[in-house]
Structure 1
Amino acid sequence: MTTTVATPVATLPASSLRLLRTAGFVSNFDRFCIAPMLVLISLRLGAPLPTVVLAASGYYLSYGLMQPVWGMASDRWGRVWVMRVSLTGAALAALASALAPDAPVLIGARALAGAFFAASIAASLTYVGDTAPAATRQRPLSELMTAFALGTAVATVVAGALAHYLTWRLVFALPGVLAAYLAVALRRLPEPERPRSESLLAPFRVVLSSRWQWYVMAVAMLEGAVLLGFLTYLAPALEGHGVPTTLAGAVAALYGVGSMAAAQVVKRLVGQWSPVGLIVAGGVQMALAYLLAGYSQSTGALVVVALLLGGGWSFMHSTIQSWATALSPAARATGVAMFGVALYVGSALATGLAASTAQAHDYRPLFWLAALLTVPLTVVAAVGRARYR
């Protein structure tokens, strides 16, 4: 692999950032839209709910497994090339999902959609890493995080309503149409300079030889467990107290609102606060949120919890994500992809290990455990970032 590294430009053009935000929005919308529709799809297709759930789990599995594959492809053939190819495949898979005549076809189509949509977010983050200076990189990254959070929130709130009042097929068709548009529109996005890898696996070797890459991946795994893993149980905690499913989902979606609002604050603080300060501020918000959730699972309390967790995500995760883009400049896409894999693995582990406690509707100890784990997460992230040079 050559040692030439992309030279960041002073400012990422607004038109480029708009395309990257849209790609991330569509990817997150498609990823989170199926959960509110599972019961309805089961009824419409006449299939058992456990069978239809495979459409979601297959999506998440292929989404996670394809992260390093797309990362290596991006380092080998280019960021824009990977986004355009993957979005073309995503458009076809999403439209196949909308036209699925039965559960087996839907399961296969959703697995393919997950595999193709897996490239968008990591590639957009890598593109910013290639083109924005390190000192101000967190600002465009915060804008991307805002778009990602918006996609999550819109999917959580809108998908169920569209499926109920119109048809679930429309919910899958919409991201397919947008993905097709982006596959064409992204031809206007200039390909950034990047190191030329000698082989497909060369970026992987570069990433895994970095001590700091392993450290940040460990931080990401803990962050995924603490934030994303336990966040899963906000809506079930409300439903366990008799709150209707629709309202519980809307409260959980406020996490996206909190993330979007905090992202605007983070953009202004970048350059004024140190990365360590931003990490600690995010950790404090997360700890307070989980302490409150452990104390009370009332609707009002969990509204505040969701907003605080969204704020914690924007402060802490955008800072760690910015750090991750700087670790392996010669294999940036693969490094960012491996960071994502660690995040999703941590989330899956926490969700799975907590499932038995959640099944008994005993959410208080889960949230207190999350508050406790926030402390080592904040410490290791802040100390590591302070020592990194």
Structure 2
Amino acid sequence: MSSEAHSRQAAAPPAGAAAARPERVPTAFVVSCFLSNFDRFAITPMLVAVAAGFDVPLSDVVLIASGYFFAYGAAQPLWGMLSDRYGRMRVIRGTLSATTVCGLLSAAAPSLTALVVLRIATGAFFGAVVPTSLTYVGDTVPPAVRQRALSDLQLALAIGTAAATVVAGTVAQLLSWRVMFAIPAVLAAAAVLSMRGMDESRAEGTLRRPGDQLASVLRLRWAWVVMLFGLVEGAVLLGCFTFLAPALQDQGFNTVSAGGITALYGAGTLVFSRVLKRVALRAPWSLLLAGGVMICVGFAVAALSPSAVGIGAAAVLLGGGWSFFHSSLQNWATTLVPAARGTAVALFVAALFVGSSIGSALGAPLIQHTSYPVLFAVAAATAVPLTVFAAVARNRYTPAGS
């Protein structure tokens, strides 16, 4: 039986899911995903302001960002296993509550050392939001319309990314960087309050023991395939996207201008996520193919024309690639091991962030010689086999039990 036929025969969502609009994601989860990206992407524009506030070199402040990013990615498997054992709602309520405390303490941090520790903790707790939200969607939304629901989460993540790059620098300059750390903390508390009364989504038969959860995922060949695709996607898309703004700054654009141009990535994700919702019922492999083509073309444009126009066009296309390609991989990850869905999704997300770190590290030597066109050309070339193999594999994939 094909994966599409299996999707049509999927069981109805558990109690608590919306019956009239099964693809609708609860607003609290949409807001939580927005906050996750907003808090994460707001760090970089504030580094200079934080350094000035503590009167320390900028190099000392970088650990605020790198420590946050590392903790955000490294904590993913932990949250996945905990959500399988104790439930999605317990995990997301608990971690959002913790981000509220850490965020407010960050706003009042008396020293750089204290701020670094608090931001690492905040990153670890915010790292639970996206995989838990994806797992909740996997539990409550039938496979046939799940892609539509995931597009709503992609939209929230895109808006969070774009808003952070615009708002963070402005708030830090006009008010204080401390205010910027407090904003997502307060909003996270509001999200927790809005989740009161929401039903647990975990299906019957979910594995509770961490060893069983990991074993059920890691012994599945398709799980390794999807994680590998996530790893390469992270290296190509997230890792190389990091260098779009520096490529513009290398040509004389200031930080604000470069950030504004690359923020078109958020606009691209916004537009294409709406397009995705209209075509989400098409064959999954075709959505992967469409997204991969946009990634290839986007980096090719940046390589051929690393100007404001070229980088801006590339950012829009990469936003489209993220909407189609990445959300299709996310959807795939939710179908791998229903009995350990939280663990499977979290391992996929962890692979994505490991890949982004690898991509940034491999690109660094080229950036030292300002070889931005070469870097973007390599990214475009790598995206070609990634797209082909992912589309072919998705077409051949049959969920367990089909």
The question of 1:279 aligning with 2:288 is answered: yes
- Name the aligned partner's letter for residue 257 of structure 1: A
Which of 251, 264, 277 is the matching residue for 2:261? 251
Distance 2:163 2:81 in 1: 31
| Equivalent residues of 1:72, 1:334 under 8 A apart | yes
2:55 is aligned with 1:49? no
Q: Which amino acid aligns with 1:308?
A: L
* Aligned AA (1:161): T
- Are the aligned partners of 1:6 and 1:131 in contact in 2 as well (CA < 8 Å)? no
Task: Say if 2:227 and 2:347, in contact at 8 Å, map to a contact too.
Answer: yes
- What does residue 249 of structure 2 align with? 239
**Aligned counterparts of 1:322 and 1:198: Cα–Cα separation in 2:** 23
TM-score (structure 1 length as normaliser):
0.96
Q: Which amino acid aligns with 2:316?
A: L
Q: Closer, same or farther in 2 for the Cα pair 1:123/1:69, shift >3 Å?
A: same
- Give 5+ residue unaligned stretches, structure 1: none
- Say yes or no: does 1:217 pair with 2:227: yes
Contact 1:257/1:310, CA 8 A, preserved across alignment: yes
Return the alpha-carbon distance in structure 2 between the equivalents of residues 352 and 300 of structure 1: 26
| 145, 159, 172: which one aligns with 2:154 | 145
User: Alignment RMSD, CA only?
Assistant: 1.5
CA distance in structure 2 between the aligned counterparts of 1:388 and 1:56, rounded to whole angstroms: 38
- Is the 8 Å Cα contact of residues 29 and 155 (structure 1) preserved in structure 2? yes
Count, aligned residues: 384
Q: By how many angstroms is 1:15 displaced?
A: 7.8
Query: What letter matches 1:136 in structure 2?
Result: V
**Is 1:38 aligned to 2:47, yes or no?**
yes
Matches of 1:12 and 1:59, distance apart in 2: 36
Take 1:208 and 1:184, find their aligned partners in 2: how far apart are those partners?
Answer: 36
| Alpha-carbon distance in 1 for matches of 2:20, 2:219 | 31
Which region of structure 1 is more displaced relative to structure 2, 166-175 or 180-189?
180-189
Contact 2:226/2:348 (CA < 8 Å) preserved in 1?
yes
Q: Which of these residues, 84, 88, 106, is aligned with residue 75 of structure 1? A: 84
Deviations 1:142-194 (A, max 9, x none): 01000011101100111011101111111110000011112222123211142
Structure 2 equivalent of residue 88 of structure 1: 97
Match of 1:264 in 2: 274
Structure 1 SS opposite 2:93: helix
Residue type matched to 2:26 in 1? L
Contact 1:72 1:201 in 2 (8 A): no
Q: Percent identity of the aligned residues?
A: 47
Amino acid at match of 1:171: M
Q: Residues of 1 paired with 2:64 and 2:131: CA distance?
A: 23
Q: Report deviation, 1:14.
A: 8.3
1:269-292 CA deviation, whole Å, 9 max, x = no partner?
011x21111111111111111111
Assess if the C-alpha contact under 8 Å between 1:290 and 1:367 holds in 2.
yes
1:1-389 aligned within 5 A: 7-8=12-13, 17-194=26-203, 195-271=205-281, 273-389=282-398
How many angstroms does 1:17 deviate by?
2.2
The more displaced of 375-384 and 184-193 is: 184-193
Q: Within 2, Cα distance between the matches of 1:226 and 1:142?
A: 21
Does the residue aligned with 1:137 lie in a helix, a strand or coil?
Answer: helix
Instruction: Name the SS for the 2:253 alignment partner.
Output: coil
Contact 1:235–1:252, Cα closer than 8 Å, also in 2 = yes
Q: 1:58 to 1:387 in 2, by over 3 A?
A: same
Distance 2:368 2:63 in 1: 20
Instruction: Please list the CA deviations of residues 60-111 of structure 1 after superposition, one character each: whole Å capped at 9, or x if unmatched.
Output: 1111111000000000000011000001111101111111111101100100
Instruction: Write the distance in 2 (CA, Å) between the matches of 1:155 and 1:331.
Output: 33
Q: Which consecutive unaligned segments of at least 5 residues does structure 2 have?
A: 1-9
Aligned-partner SS, 2:263: helix
Contact 1:23 1:120 in 2 (8 A): yes
- 1:16–1:189 contact (8 Å) kept in structure 2: no
- Report the secondary structure of 1:201's partner residue: helix
Task: Report the alpha carbon displacement of residue 13 of structure 1 after superposing the two structures with TM.
Answer: 6.2
1:281-339 C-alpha deviation (Å, 9 max, x unpaired): 11111111111111111111111110010011111111111011001100001100000
How much does 1:39 deviate? 1.0
**Letter of the structure 2 residue corresponding to residue 169 of structure 1:** R
Checking the alignment, whether the CA contact within 8 Å between 1:153 and 1:256 is kept in structure 2 is: yes
User: Which residue identity is paired with 2:267?
Assistant: V
Note if contact 1:11-1:132 (Cα within 8 Å) is conserved in structure 2.
Answer: no
Q: CA contact under 8 A between 2:67 and 2:120: conserved in structure 1?
A: yes
Secondary structure of 2:273's counterpart equals helix
Q: CA deviation at 1:18?
A: 1.1
**Counterpart in 1 of 2:3?**
none
Q: Read off the aligned partner of 2:262 and give its amino acid letter.
A: A
